[in-house]
Every structure is written in C-alpha cells, then in structure tokens.
Structure 1
Amino acid sequence: MKARIIGTGSYLPERIMTNFDLEQMVDTSHDWIVARTGIKERRIAAEGECTSDMATIAAQRALDMAGIKAEDIDLIVMGTITGDYPWPATACIIQAKLGAQNAFAYDLSAACSGFLYALSAANDYLANGRGKRALVIGAETLSRIVDWTDRNTCVLFGDGAGAVVLEAQDGESGILSTHLHSDGNYLELLYQPGFGSRNPSSPEGVDARLPYLKMQGNEVFKVAVRSLTDVSKEALDANGFSSADVGLFIPHQANLRILEATAKRLELTEEQNFINVDKYGNTSGATIPIAMDEAFRQGLLKEGDLLLSAAFGGGFTWASALIRW
C-alpha cells in the first residue's frame, strides 16, 4: 500500500511585486537581486488576505482535480510558519472552510521543509492503513514577517499556497520514501526571534524588529547546498536509483544559485531541474506544492515518472521525498 498523489492545486495572490518596485523601497536594484538570487518578482497577499484563505483555495483546487469531496478526507496536515494565529492550528480553520468534517487536522512547523515533513506524516498515516485520503498543504504569508527595510532578506520572499491530495492505493505509483533531518545548532542563522515565550510581546520596551525573520544568507547557502545534495542522494540510494532515473527534480525554491549548485552536484540536467523561483520568490513551505501543481498542469509530470523533491529550512531542517508519479 502506497500513498499516491491524485490531485494538486495552488494559489498565488494577484499582487505582483517586481524588483523595480523594491528599488523604490530599499537600496537595491533589479540587476543586484537577479545576480544574487535569480528572483525577478514575487506575489504579495492582499490586505486582509491570510494564510488560511490562500490554503483553502489551493486545497479546493487539489480536491477538484482529484474528484474528491472535502468530506472524503481523513486527515489535513499543514506545513506553515505563518499561520493565521499562533494557535489554534490553521489546518483546523481550513477544515472548517472546506467542510471537511470527517478529517482531523493539525499544523506542522519545519520552516521551508514544512511541506515535505507534512507529506511524510500523511504518507505514514495512509501507508499504515489508518486512513484512505489525506490533504497535505504548504502555505505562507511571509510578507507579514519580512523586514521591508532589510534589503538582504526582503527581496527573497513571497506569499502563496500549494496542496496535494493523497490516496492509499495498491500498485507501483506513490511515495516510495521520505527522509527527514534537523540540527538545532544552526538556529540563529535563520529564525524569527519574536513573539514566542523567549521574547514575548510587551506594551513597553519591545524591539520593533523582533517579529521579523533573521537570516545570515552566506552561512545558510553553504549548509543548504550540502544538505540538499546529501538528502537527495539518500532518497535515490534508498530506492536503488541514480540521478539519471529522475524524471523531474523539484527542490525548495529558495535561491537560483542554491538550486543550480545542488543540481550540478547531483549531475542533473537543466531539463530535469524544475525552477520557478524567478516568478514567485521563496514562499517557504509553499514552494514545492506550488511547483508540483505547476509542473503537473504543464504536462512535465506524467504517470510513471520518478519525481525527486528536496527542501532545506530554518531549524535547520532538511528533507527529501522520492515519488513514482
């Protein structure tokens, strides 16, 4: 029994923020951003538009593709670091919006690896015969936690949501394996300092930048490339495949330089390496399901193809999944 992806969906906000828009906000330039990140534009959520709004649309589109009703879902698991509230889980809000009254729902926090962590959890649940169908979502509203005066970080991130429907099936297609890792020693290279129990909100004496994410980009880059390469090889080795067997590689869309360096180390061709970071920026846990939906709808993923996916995020966390489409 394997958990097979039977539907994909995504949602991107209407507002497009280009690099030229950012030139009017911070000391940067289009050429500077493209040279260092490959990003040309990103999507920004509208005023009043929150993570559950975007995730619900992406989820409904995945359900529609799968031909599944919301009440047929047994589990909703959501990878996010920008939920509607600190608690309850945004997955519960999505459950209510969809009318998925037969599902239990929870959020999972693993930063940019959140979708693959959530996919692994749902896969284990279905493969063990505990349910028939699951909805796995990655969604972020990173524009709400970005410091728009910090040119080193604000140019990187965008908003969006992606989702897949999993169904337990017999056969060759489905999730072949997932591989999860973390190392908390790297915490301060990429994190959001406030507002948790360590740095709680307070009426007085609060650093106005505490809610914003912090990143030491050069150090993150070094660890990210190594970790993405190693965890991708781990997935291939575990299943007896090589890079040449991969139909499509969908990595977390963080930075074009990271994606190209990882693909080179894995000896993947340009045709194998799916990239859309230029259009959407880094949407954290949403990048992989958005890319899956885009690739599938473009005809780049066909039945029987071998899909390799890998992610790296704050924590540090990193993960991979090998999927027979």
Structure 2
Amino acid sequence: MQNVYITRASKFLPNQPVDNDEMEDFLGIINQIPSKARRIVLRNNGIKTRFYALNKAGIVTHSNAELTKNAILNLLNNDFTTNQIEVLSCGTSTPDLLLPSHAAMVHGLLQNNNSVELNSSSGVCNSGMNALKYGYLSVKSGNSKNAVCTGSERVSTWMKAEKFENEIENLKDLEEQPIIAFRKDFLRWMLSDGAAAFLLQDSPNEDQLSLKIEWMESYSYAHQLETCMYAGGDKLENGEMKPWSDYSSAEWLKQSVFSLKQDVKILNDNILIKGVESMKSAMDKHQLSSDQIDYLLPHVSSNFFVQGLFDEFSKKGIHVPLEKWFMNLSKVGNVGSASIFLMVEELFNQGNLKKGDRIMLCVPESGRFSYSYAYLTVV
C-alpha cells in the first residue's frame, strides 16, 4: 500500500464577500416581507460574510461545475497540469444536473487531452469527504499515482425568494405567517457558494510541506434515525420520505418539493451526540489520544454548536482545547461539502504549519446522520 499525501490545496470563492445586511439583496424577499428569522439565525451562527454565485440582479455568474473547475485550475501549474490528472473525484450536495454526474460535467469544462477516472459523490456535507476518500483509496492501493478531489456547492440559486413564492398561498391557508416555514427559511441564512480542491499524490513535495493522510473513517446512523435534511421530496407525518417523482408537476411548485429543508428538532437532539460517539469510535480504533491532535478542524454549520460540541467531547474523554480548533465559518459561511476543504486550504497555505503537526478533520452530515473523519500529519 502506498502513502498518500495532499501536496496542494486551492479554492475558488465567487464574486465579492456578501455581508449580513446584503443577503436579501441577492436572495430576494419572500412575499415582500423581510425575513423575521434572519437576524436570529445570523446572531447564532456567527457568520459575517459569505459568497454567492449570483449578482444583485439575481443573475447566475457561475455553475457548480464552473466553481469546481476554477478551484482545480487554481490547484495546477506548469509542474502539474490537467493532462496529468489520473483520477477526478468530486463531491457536492448541489449538482447542476440530476445527470450526467457532477464529475463528468467538471471534466468536460477542464478540456484536458486525456481520459480520466471519474467519481461523483452525492449526499450532504460528507459528499466532499467521500470524494476525498475515493481519491485516497485509489492512490493508496496503487491504482493511481495521483487524484484531484473536490468539494463544492452552489446553493444560492436554491434559496432565491422566487423559489418559494408558489408556497405562500398554502401557508396562508394554514393560518401561518406569510413567510415560508422556519425549517426552510433558516437555511437561507446559513449556506454559501464555493469550491476547493486537493491534489493527492503518492510522494510528498520535495521543497515544501505536504499533508500525509494517515487514515479516514466514516459512520452512518441511518439505521437508527430518520431523515433530517433533504431536498427533492418531502417528509410525511410518519417520517417516511416521498420522492419528487411521486408528486405531480403542479405539486413540485405548490409544495416547493425541491427546496432544501431541515428538521431542526431532530438535528438538535442528535447531531452532537452521534458526532461525539463516532469520533470516539474512530479515535479508539486508531488508538489516538486527545494530546495527539494539534489542530482540530470541525465542520460546524453554526457557532451555536461549538460549545455544545466541546462539552460533549469532554464527557467522552476527548479533551481538545478550543485554542486548537481551527475554523473559518465566519468568513466563508457554511459551504457544505466544500467547508472542510476550505478549512484545510487556509490552514495549509497560511504558512503556520510545521513538520510533525497533527490534524484531525471532523465532518458531520445531518441528511440522515453520517460522519467522516481524517487524520493528517504534516511532513
């Protein structure tokens, strides 16, 4: 088995940062009434700026595939070009199309001269880690000498006010406030666009630092817990999911079937507990102690969860001081599957790492409660 190293990391964040007061200028106002949830959500999540692949006129500036392509191009140079890529593994929650796959669309935009092996990982936040693991296992097994792995999201177009206008009359009929239900509205103030990419190789950089991937682990609790975050369907009273293809085309708009939704109660009851349970399992499996973590990179959707996660870790004997936690949520927002890539990219390229540093990546996914972990060493 080969050693696997992240030798380069890059990002692409579209347009200019959007601050909290500008958000509805880009996403629009539903039913001509400013959101009552926006300030509450923003106060809790701690996000100050984010990026949208939109302009203020609501015109799209980049597709998801274009965001990803640009991140990959920022990764490469004359020493390693698109023609040298052997595996292209792309993860996203928000592909441009149902099919062809996201990776195929990205490959088409790269316009390189060679065929490559493709992998598209779907899901929610873990789709980026799953894409990374595919590339990691390909290089580790000797199947390939390199892999380009990406995480990307373009969710802003899903959150535009026009996507919810057809639901307004439904809500009035139910004697609700003439805004979309909170489980949909709060996500409009949480999510951002962007992409990031890693180059994985079977040998480290000769003249600069690399990140050796020591191991990766993944866990799912779908056998225990019902769906929490979803799109392209709706949740029935009994907890079962009804897919978009079982609705009439008229219902797609009336019920905003394709909007992104989250069951907040299930999220709050389970996301931290299962996260700590899976983290403990991964650390026990690899006989890893808390003092062997110099940087903890947790993907948290909101700063609201940080203290709770720290407290739950402590209850399980995982003692990683908050000063060892590295996050950039406040600057780039929650970019879903790209968030962990963006954290690693910033940490890797800011110049503060030194040989021997040990980094733990933690990514939860509330879709049906999945978790991914990776342990890296700086070499």
Give TM-score scaled by structure 1 length: 0.89
Question: What SS class does the counterpart of residue 99 from structure 2 fall into?
Answer: coil
Name 1:160's counterpart in structure 2.
194
Give the % identical residues. 21
Q: Give per-residue Cα distances to partners, 1:161-184, cap 9 Å, x unaligned.
A: 111010123899621111112233
Name 2:43's counterpart in structure 1.
35
Contact preservation (8 Å) 1:224, 1:258: no
Name 1:255's counterpart in structure 2.
302
Contact preservation (8 Å) 1:235, 1:322: no
Question: What SS class does the counterpart of residue 13 from structure 1 fall into?
Answer: coil
Name 1:302's counterpart in structure 2.
354
Deviation at 1:211, TM superposition (A): 0.8
Of 48-57 and 216-225, deviating more is: 216-225
Contact preservation (8 Å) 1:147, 1:153: no
Q: Give per-residue Cα distances to partners, 1:252-292, cap 9 Å, x unaligned.
A: 24111223432442322233111111122211101010111
Q: How far apart in 2 are the matches of 1:261 and 1:302?
A: 30
Contact preservation (8 Å) 2:37, 2:186: no
Cα distance, 1:115–1:303 mapped onto 2, change above 3 Å: farther
Contact preservation (8 Å) 2:244, 2:258: no
Q: How far apart in 2 are the matches of 1:59 and 1:260?
A: 35
Q: How far apart in 2 are the matches of 1:218 and 1:302?
A: 42
Tell me how many residue pairs correspond in the alignment. Answer: 324
Cα distance, 1:236–1:188 mapped onto 2, change above 3 Å: closer
Name 2:272's counterpart in structure 1.
225
Q: How far apart in 1 are the matches of 2:211 and 2:37?
A: 45
In the TM superposition, 1:24-63 aligns within 5 A as 25=29, 26-28=34-36, 32-46=40-54, 47-63=60-76
Deviation at 1:23, TM superposition (A): 6.7
Unaligned runs of 5+ in 2: 55-59, 162-179, 235-240
Deviation at 1:134, TM superposition (A): 0.2
Give TM-score scaled by structure 2 length: 0.78
Q: How far apart in 1 are the matches of 2:305 and 2:130?
A: 20
Q: How far apart in 2 are the matches of 1:220 and 1:7?
A: 34
Deviation at 1:115, TM superposition (A): 1.4
Q: Please, which of 239, 250, 263 is the counterpart of residue 216 of structure 1?
A: 263
Cα distance, 1:147–1:97 mapped onto 2, change above 3 Å: closer
Letter of the 2:302 counterpart: N
Q: How far apart in 1 are the matches of 2:80 and 2:337?
A: 24
Q: How far apart in 2 are the matches of 1:92 and 1:270?
A: 40
Q: Give per-residue Cα distances to partners, 1:103-131, cap 9 Å, x unaligned.
A: 21121113111111111121111111110
Name 2:232's counterpart in structure 1.
193
Q: Give per-residue Cα distances to partners, 1:36-94, cap 9 Å, x unaligned.
A: 21222321112141111111111122234x94211211111111121121111121222
Name 2:287's counterpart in structure 1.
240
Contact preservation (8 Å) 2:150, 2:196: yes
Q: Please, which of 137, 144, 159 is the counterpart of residue 150 of structure 2?
A: 137
Deviation at 1:224, TM superposition (A): 1.9
Name 1:86's counterpart in structure 2.
98
In terms of Rg, which structure is larger?
Answer: 2
Name 1:20's counterpart in structure 2.
21
Of 85-94 and 223-232, deviating more is: 223-232
Deviating above 4 A after TM superposition, structure 1's stretches of 4 or more consecutive aligned residues are 147-150, 170-173
Cα distance, 1:18–1:28 mapped onto 2, change above 3 Å: farther
Letter of the 1:85 counterpart: L
Q: How far apart in 1 are the matches of 2:249 and 2:279?
A: 46
Contact preservation (8 Å) 1:253, 1:276: no
